[in-house]
Every structure is written in C-alpha cells, then in structure tokens.
Structure 1
Amino acid sequence: MSATSHPSTPASIDAIYRAHHGWLLGWFRRRLGGASCAADLAHDTFVRLMLSRDALSLAEPRAFLRTLAHGVVVNHWRRQDIERAWREALAVLPEPMAPSPEERLMALETLCRIDAMLDRLNPKARAAFLLSQLDGLTYAEIGTQLKVSERMMKKYMAQAMLQCLLLAEQP
C-alpha cells in the first residue's frame, strides 16, 4: 500500500494539501466574502484533518475537507459574534474601568472557551445551566419550564458542572 493511500501519513496529507488547498481557499473566500482570514481558516482545516481519526479511511478528501471547513467557519462566525458582544460591553464601561489589552484578550479567550463548553452540552442541559446561572431559577422552576423532573435537572446540572470543572483545569 502506498503512502498516499493513508491520509494520516505526512506524504498523503501533503498530497491532499497540494490537491485541495486552492479549492479550499476559494471555498472560504466565497463563504466569507473574500475575507483575508481565509488562508488562516484553510490552515486550521488542514490541522483538523491531521488530527482526525477519520483521516485514515478517506475515500473523498474534498467532501471530508468541506465538512471540516464548515465547522471551522461556524466557529469563526461564533467567535466574531462573541468579539462583537464583548466590544459592545466594553464600550459602555467608563474609561478608568476599561480592562487593559491583555485583560481584554484573556477575557475574550475565556468567553470563547465557555461558549465552546456550552455548545458541547445537550440543549436541555445547556438551557438548565443558563437558567440556573443567569436567571437564578431553582431546579424545580427550571424543571417545570423544561418539562423535566427535578432528578433530571440535577443530572443536567451535574453534566454542566463537570464541563465547568474540566474547563477550569485547562491552561
């Protein structure tokens, strides 16, 4: 079997890169209106390809790259939304209370990590966690709103809290 039949090998990743990088770059430019970040996002897509367990059995590299690229562009849009909301929140702060550029970057990175953590939760667990933490509702109130038992609420909150602990352990 040749090296090009195993996409996880450097030679085959290189072959996929050479064969599909230009197409992928164009795909990002079309999705993002010719954005200058298209090259960075294409790079991120190939990094995901290299890290993928599915890369060992690629029959259709372009279709797989498109799937990976879709996730990359969705994450890009989500990050832009978070950055926009963060800038809007900072704009209303009085100048002496405004965080330094370093603090702003750290806060933005933390917000993006929290967003990714929330996205990993199932929808009801995410809703339960947010209703508890942001709205201050009790488990019984949330259970009524989500039409689940209080026992299920405890399970959802345990899932969310576990994700919070895992997030806190990350560097």
Structure 2
Amino acid sequence: MTVGDQAREECGALYAEHHRWLLGWLRQRLGCLHDAADLAQDTFIRVLTARDAVSVEPIHEPRAFLRTVAGRLLSNHLRRRSLELAWQQTLANLPEPEVPSPEVQAVLLQTLHEIDALLDGLPARARRVFLLAQLEGLTYAQIAEQFGVSVRTIKRDMAEAFEQCILLTP
C-alpha cells in the first residue's frame, strides 16, 4: 500500500468518524449550515492533501487536530467575509457614476483578498506601520512617535513589509 493510499484510507476513516461532529462545531460558530458544510469539506480536503504529500504519524487526537485545521479555515473565512462586507459598504457609499463595472469590482475584490493575505503574514506592528505609511501617508517619524519607538525600528518594520510584498507577489 502506498503512502497516498494509506493517507486516503485514514482520511476516509477520519471523515466517517468525525464529519458530523465537525459540521456541528462549525455550524455553531457560523450559524449557517451551508458555510459550515463547505468549511468541513475544505477541512477534510486540506487534511487529505497534506497527508497524501508526506508519510506522517497517525492522528492521536483527531478532534483536536480537526479543530485546529478547521479553526484556521474558519478564521480565513471570517476575515474574507468581513473584507467583502467592507467592500460592499464602500460600493454602496459611492455616487452612481463612480461605481465600477461588475468586472472591475471582481478584479478589485480579488486584489483586496490578495493584499489581505499578504498583510496577514506580517507581525501586527509591521502591518499597522505599513498601513499608516501607505494608506494614511504618515512619515516614518510620525509613525515612530505614535508607537513610541525609534525611526530605525519603523524602517525595519517597513523593510519587513516590503519584503513580504516582494516574496508573495507572483
């Protein structure tokens, strides 16, 4: 039996034994059966894909393991939904002639998701420093004063943010 076959068999057993529980756990947090079902399915796909790629030890605490994987997916889902709601509110507040076409809206929303994912990889202060500099136009000195740190520290945070931008840009 290959590693992939073994992983699929283990994932099938994991699914059979814990899918109902995971679905309930997600539904309780989301309040929506359809979103919970999608995330439960994504969780098992993520587990199967990860376990199919490498030979790994058996899962000793399956519910804790599934809760961790699903929790990360849930966090991403909620952040994505929050971003989409903010985008919809922004569009609703635009005067009619300034509302972009549906095609442009889709491209802009996708770009927002990519920026969000990029920023999510940064430590909190570096993310905030980057946003203050890029969106609010504050100088490094102003940001340093706001955080009570040196300008050199702000420069390091910005360098980290720019590095993240370069590394994650296709």
Q: TM (normalized to structure 1)?
A: 0.85
- What's 2:56 paired with? 56
- What's 2:21 paired with? 23
Contiguous gaps of at least 5 residues in structure 2? none
Deviation (angstroms), 1:69: 1.2
RMSD over aligned CA atoms reads 2.5
Distance 1:55 1:32 in 2: 33
- What's 2:109 paired with? 108
SS at match of 1:56: coil
Distance 1:27 1:145, change over 3 A: same
Distance 1:55 1:116, change over 3 A: farther
**Counterpart check, 1:91 vs 2:92:** yes
Deviation (angstroms), 1:34: 3.3
Deviation (angstroms), 1:140: 1.7
- What's 2:80 paired with? 79
- 1:94-117 deviation digits (Å, cap 9, x = unpaired): 333322223222221221221122
| Greater CA drift, 18-27 or 48-57 | 48-57
- 1:120-153 deviation digits (Å, cap 9, x = unpaired): 1111111111111122111122122222222221
Distance 2:5 2:66 in 1: 12
Deviation (angstroms), 1:82: 0.7
Deviation (angstroms), 1:165: 2.0
Distance 2:75 2:147 in 1: 27
Distance 1:55 1:22 in 2: 27
Deviation (angstroms), 1:7: 10
Deviation (angstroms), 1:62: 1.1
Distance 1:163 1:8, change over 3 A: farther
- 1:13-67 deviation digits (Å, cap 9, x = unpaired): 1211121112111111111123322111111112222344799232111111011
Q: Is the 8 A contact 1:117 1:167 kept in 2?
A: yes
Distance 1:55 1:66 in 2: 21
Whichever residue aligns with residue 92 of structure 1, its letter is N
Alignment of 1:134-149 (within 5 A): 134-149=135-150
Whichever residue aligns with residue 119 of structure 2, its letter is L
Distance 1:116 1:154 in 2: 22
Distance 1:83 1:17, change over 3 A: same
**Counterpart check, 1:33 vs 2:31:** yes
